[in-house]
A and B are shown apart, each in its own frame.
Chain A
Amino acid sequence: AAAMAMNADLRRERAAATFQPELLTHILDGGAERTRRRKEIEALVVNDPDFQHEDLNFLSRSQRYEQAIRKSSLMVMKLREYGIADPDEIYWFKSFVHRGRPEPLDLHLGMFLPTLLTQATPEQQDRFFMPAWNLEIIGTYAQTEMGHGTHLRGLETTATYDPATQEFILNSPTVTSIKWWPGGLGKTSNHAIVLAQLYTQGQCKGLHAFIVPIRQLGTHEPLPGITVGDIGPKFGYDEMDNGYLKMDNFRIPRENMLMKYAQVEPDGTYVKPLSDKLTYGTMVFIRSLIVGDSARSLSRACTIAIRYSAVRHQSELKPGEPEPQILDYQTQQYKLFPLLATAYAFHFVGAYIKDTYRRISGDINEGDLSELPELHALTAGLKAFTSWTANAGIEECRMACGGHGYSRCSGIPDIYVTFTPSCTYEGENTVMMLQTARFLVKSYTQVSSGQRVTGTVSYLNDLSRQRIQPQHVAARTVTVRINDPASLVEAYKARAARLVEAAAKNLQAELNHRKSKEDAWNRTSVDLVRASEAHCHYVVVKLFTAKLSEIGNAAVRAVMTELCLLYALYGISKNTGDFLQAGILTNAQIIQVNQHVKELLAIIRPNAVALVDAFDFHDVHLGSVLGRYDGNVYENMFEWAKKSPLNKTDVHESFHKHLKPMQAKL
């Protein structure tokens, strides 16, 4: 198959591009040198026979788990062999090995080890870190319970201190308190960091983390008092043994509580931690990863759908002419190009948050936490905004591939099921949006009381000025120039301001005739979520626009400017009500916006394939017959299907078991 010539349609598309995709790839990677290194690491994995295996689509869940474990063990060894230690490089290596899928050691590497580093005392690090580093200890992070997820304070697992033996007694007092979902817990891990309500001297001190051995070293059998297993099949995540854990009077030594911050002394005296804001840092980091992941997952789906749409010919546009590429249909462009623009937008947003986190985590170590609340609020909202959008976008891409998108050979079903849980984990999206809203309302209240706010919400300062000049918003109507990204940023800013203000005022109105703050908040929450969405939308448009001036190459800048305009204008056309109602745009302007969106589709059309090529996904990583770089779709679909388990024998056993006897009987 490798020797096949490139499909003629794709060759033509690539020849017609107005820019060099490599240059854009460098921008996405953060420099030519990083692209080179990424590809070098990619080659290490792709050319390594140890990492080859049968197409995962044909394996059972148990086989997929087994493959993942096999590859993970190899991966850990090879990372050390090659001396790869930079976090980004480890991330690349890992995602090539597992082709963007989860794996059973994710929680060990991503949560267990880092938590030991940040929350264990030096003595605990001596005891646990090296064994865990060498994988004698494999750990997971057991937080979520059957009855509670995002609302952490509701967790029910208890850890009661017994001063007589200097031990904690861990219990799962109810069915709902069973730990449920942690990755790697079902079959892989022999230790878990368990979050439990700490009781000492008869008082509950809230949630704390404990290192709990769960399986016997050597035999891997569950320890007495521990019930552990796999939670069963899920929507995707086949290679992950998400597990359950029930503890019955399970005792661990006092020294197994992670005590770098809070402590329980031998007599049971509780010592409080100095600050509780520190946990924000990790959450910001992980949520920022999800923003990047939204961009990558959507990029993969766009790559598949756009290449396939250039290869697929169907129906007729002009009587008597050959069937056109489906990418030439306006409805197909309208489905795919806004998503392509969104994928680029989210790449830049992901990079921005990552950089910002890196910058201020220095400040955090210096003890300066001043920027943290805003960043925390922003990442919560952007995590929700980008994962919701990408989730819907991936489905749209699949649907745009017609029937074949539904086959697992398209690769999109797999991208979808792997990605979609990110709308829920690390903070359920609606709850995240409401956290952002809390920050927005707080900022609005500060502005109303005459204070000035800074950062991404500084546009709220303008609201107080508008109150002095009531014509301000209306006067601005005519100044929106729909061909100018900077001007569109202003339009989005005005929309966000209007919706934040409306939500804050509605909240105030509810508060005026209701006693309970929480009831009022609940009765305004639909408005609050809308305000947060508008705020996040504004931030994305703003960051995308800001990126344009950093692009040196004129041809690349031109095509990115078109995408940025499409992103901004499409967003307006999908939310015309907000812009009309606030008087930011007139009816006539909305008609122009809709018209311009369609013009941009035609302008972007010649560069569509080059724009997805620039994402630079290796075929092995893309895992899609429809999205192959060489475009030889149909031949390879047939090759792929022949490997299906139902085709192992020419006559399926059910013929002899069921069909034949029936025919004899009837």
Chain B
Amino acid sequence: SVNPDLASERQTPSFSVEKLTFRLDGGAEHTRIRRAVVEAIERDPEFSRENQYFQSQNERYEAAVRKAVHLQKQMQEMGWTESGPEFKYIYRALSGDVAFLLHRIFMRSISVLGSDKQIAKWIPLATQFQLIGSYAQTELGHGTYLQGLETTAVFDITTQEFILNTPKISAMKWWPGDMGRSATHTVVFAQLYVHGKCYGVHPFIVQIRSLKDHSLCPGITAGDIGPKMNFEHVDNGYLMLQNVRVPRENMLNKFCEVQPDGTYVRQGSQKINYFTMTTVRISLIADEAIIPLKKACTIAIRYSVVRRQSKLKPGEQEVKILDYQTQQEKLLPPLAAAYAFHFLNDYLQELFDKGYREIQRKNFDTLPELHAFSSGFKAVVTQYCTSAVEICLRACGGHGYSLLSGLPSLYTKILASCIYEGENTILLLQTARFLIKCFMAASAGQPVPPSVTYLAAVKPGKCPAKNKSDFLSPDIYTEAYQHMAVRLTSSTAAKLQDLIQSGVKKHDAWNQCTVQLVQAAKAHCHYITVKNFAETVEKLETKAGIQKIMKHLCDLFALHGIFSNTGVFLHDGYISGAQMDMVTASYLDLLAVIRKDAVPLVDAFDFTDKSLNSALGSYDGQVYQRLYEWAQKSPTNKQMSPAYERYLKPLLHNTLSKL
């Protein structure tokens, strides 16, 4: 039965929860398919995550391999294909707890970077799992800065082979997933040398383990890089190469080729490479950042209406902790952000689908903009979601620290997203470079991509709001965000110009402005997010109360952003001190309004209990019983620890009193 404290929250939602779920999924039909996939996976005991919190790194790895193998069978049985509508829900249903994700990146890189001949040779083998692939790019000494990679591939004209080497310790491949124990092959990125000349980083297919007995191939040193904060199920690996020879045909050569006589030929456009990186960044926003945030909000908000603590009024019952303003202040802005980012992601997907179609027609014009988008939003969204998941964790008091709450593993997993696929600070600086370039172009009257035309339309002036309800107008706050983004970009551009004109070298000037550049890039992304949320709300159906509640969330998201960054809005007097007090008042009023719908708003995310895997967040709210039951399953309660016989017993039995 549902805990009455949770049941009462669901009695009078201001909107239709089911309809909102449909909207989030992109239509009732999608919801149906998603639920069917989730159901099929969750009823299969092979995919159970029940013991996840009690397993060692070794056990987690084995389970992930077992699940990946089982999944192949299951997909055949269910008739699910990689191009079918079900596919994208599978990963979500498994909560990512499965091996061979890098195998897919291996295949994708061959499809994108390989010639037709190479595709014909390798893809069928990979599809049939006759080999298991990985993708070896990052090294001990280098990550996001790819030009710095140190692995070498020297062409030997006499044998028509490349000789791959790890010339020093920092050149060792480090971190690639599936490589520590599983992979038989990997795509190695190495500096290509022909006739003593370096041609930069290129990809090579290298076999690392025997297909017969899985032992390491000659010249290969490989293994697991050891325990991490999470991803215990993935065998992130290291790889050292000593004079490993691969045939000339193993260099992926759709764009670049070394001919038998050693002639280096570049063909086609390499720009498409960037597009692969760009799409990976966009796809991780939804799976690795927004979904974990939605889960964390669901757990923390449900728990906060079950947990009662202290009294607001003497003599009355203890209060649900969600009724405390400080708790609302912690949880409701992340909830609003989860919706803001959901709609942002829809927008980005659409943009990228369009971009992809253009690129297939060999039109690369939109690439710089898409690249700036993917870098900036990957950084801003992962950063925000990571902090917000941690807030949710700490908002659950002591119980949040129990692994059984589900929150620690959500947190330790999401925080890796701030680093992989490009370290966030570096990505923001890439977006900033684009902004500065566009700002300069716009100032000189040249055309700029649509997302940044606002930089040209600098309107000096003041915020026109007269009272606190004016701040519930999307025009007012969107304008404020726009003003702030323009100001930060233009002032940084001016500073950069000043420095250069005063004789500072360009790169030094850039480094001296990077703190401001990062701020400008964030402001740009924040503005686009607010603007997109407001525009989405406008287009929502007015029926079933959905538009109204989404409007509240949009207002909250926008005003919370101003409330938390008062300085940048006050700085040039665009918002006055008196107006800032109105923002605060409006923002605090909204907390109380959204409080009433908080549980329906997380219910609409439609996570099953199994996918949350949380003693605190399940749908029925039987928090304490579940915590107690689950704790008893802990191996620490089932297995006798040798600690008692070996250490505690002698300790308790007076061995010390001799002293």
A interface vs B, CB < 8 Å?
Answer: 57-58, 60-62, 65-66, 69-70, 73, 76-77, 80-81, 134-136, 138, 144, 146-151, 153-154, 175-176, 178, 180-181, 186-188, 190, 217-218, 220, 229-237, 241, 244, 312-319, 323, 328-331, 334-335, 395, 399, 402-409, 413, 420-421, 423-425, 428-430, 434, 516, 518-519, 522-527, 529, 575-583, 587, 590, 594, 598, 634-635, 637-638, 640-647, 650-655, 657-663, 666
Contact = CB atoms under 8 A, between A and B. Distances in A.
A519 B565 CA distance: 27
B518 interface: yes
Interface size class of B (residues with CB under 8 A): 35 or more
B571 interface: yes
A409 B390 CA distance: 22
A171 B397 CA distance: 25
A232 B214 contact: no
A187 B571 contact: no
17 contacts: A62-B641, A146-B627, A217-B652, A231-B402, A234-B408, A235-B402, A318-B507, A329-B514, A402-B419, A406-B416, A577-B580, A635-B169, A638-B172, A641-B223, A645-B56, A652-B235, A659-B69
B130 interface: yes
A235 B53 CA distance: 10
B465 to A, nearest CB: 15
A519 B635 CA distance: 45
Given A232-B403, A526-B329, 10 more contacts: A69-B648, A151-B318, A233-B402, A399-B415, A402-B419, A403-B419, A581-B566, A635-B169, A641-B225, A644-B227
A319 B508 CA distance: 11
Interface in B319-364: 323-327, 329-330
Interface of B: 53-54, 56-58, 61-62, 65-66, 69, 72, 128-130, 132, 138, 140-145, 147-148, 169-170, 172, 174-175, 180-182, 213-216, 223-229, 235, 238, 307-314, 318, 323-327, 329-330, 390, 393-394, 397-404, 407-408, 411-412, 415-416, 418-420, 423-425, 429, 505, 507-508, 511-516, 518, 565-573, 577, 580, 584, 588, 624-625, 627-628, 630-637, 639, 641-644, 646-654, 656-657, 659
Nearest to A637: B140
Contacts of A146: 399, 624, 627-628
A580 B577 contact: yes
A317 to B, nearest CB: 6
Given A230-B637, A234-B403, A525-B325, A654 B61 contact: yes
B647 to A, nearest CB: 5
Contacts of B213: 651
Contacts of B128: 666
The prevalent SS among residues of A at the interface is helix
Which 7 residue pairs spanning A and B have beta carbons closest together?
A: A577-B566, A576-B567, A235-B408, A646-B224, A644-B226, A232-B634, A230-B636
Contacts of A395: 390, 415
A661 B129 CA distance: 11
Contacts, number: 366
A408 B236 CA distance: 13
A527 B515 CA distance: 29
Contacts of B175: 403
Contacts of B61: 646, 652, 654
Contacts of A151: 309-310, 318
A231 B170 contact: no
Contacts of B571: 576, 580, 587, 590
B560 to A, nearest CB: 11
A234 B401 contact: yes
B533 to A, nearest CB: 23
A657 B402 contact: no
A231 B615 CA distance: 12
Nearest to B66: A658
B521 to A, nearest CB: 11
B652 A135 contact: yes
A244 B397 contact: no
Contacts of B318: 151, 154
A522 B325 CA distance: 6
A30 B577 CA distance: 45
A637 B236 CA distance: 14
Contacts of B516: 594
Contact of A62 (B65, B169, B401, B639): B639
Contacts of A580: 566-567, 570-571, 577
Contacts of B508: 317-318
Contacts of B401: 234-237, 420-421, 424
B310 A154 contact: yes
Contact of A60 (B56, B314, B565): B56
Contacts of A425: 398
A579 B577 CA distance: 11
A577 B129 contact: no
Given A62-B639, A646-B58, A659-B65, A525 B223 contact: no
B402 A578 contact: no
B313 A645 contact: no
A428 B324 contact: no
A646 B631 contact: no
A646 B584 CA distance: 53
A76 B656 contact: yes
Contacts of B411: 235
Contact of A634 (B138, B140, B628): B140
A640 B388 CA distance: 33
Contacts of A235: 393, 401-403, 407-408, 411-412
A666 B577 contact: no
A414 to B, nearest CB: 9
Given A229-B632, A526-B588, A598-B512, A657 B420 contact: no
Contacts of A81: 659
Contacts of B515: 330-331, 334, 598
A654 B66 CA distance: 8
Contact of B636 (A70, A154, A232, A317): A232
B323 A399 contact: no
Contacts of A61: 636
Contact of B224 (A421, A590, A641): A641
Nearest to B426: A315
Of the candidates B647, B650, B654, the one having the most CB atoms from chain A within 10 angstroms of its own CB is: B647
B214 A577 contact: no
B170 to A, nearest CB: 5
A166 B170 CA distance: 72
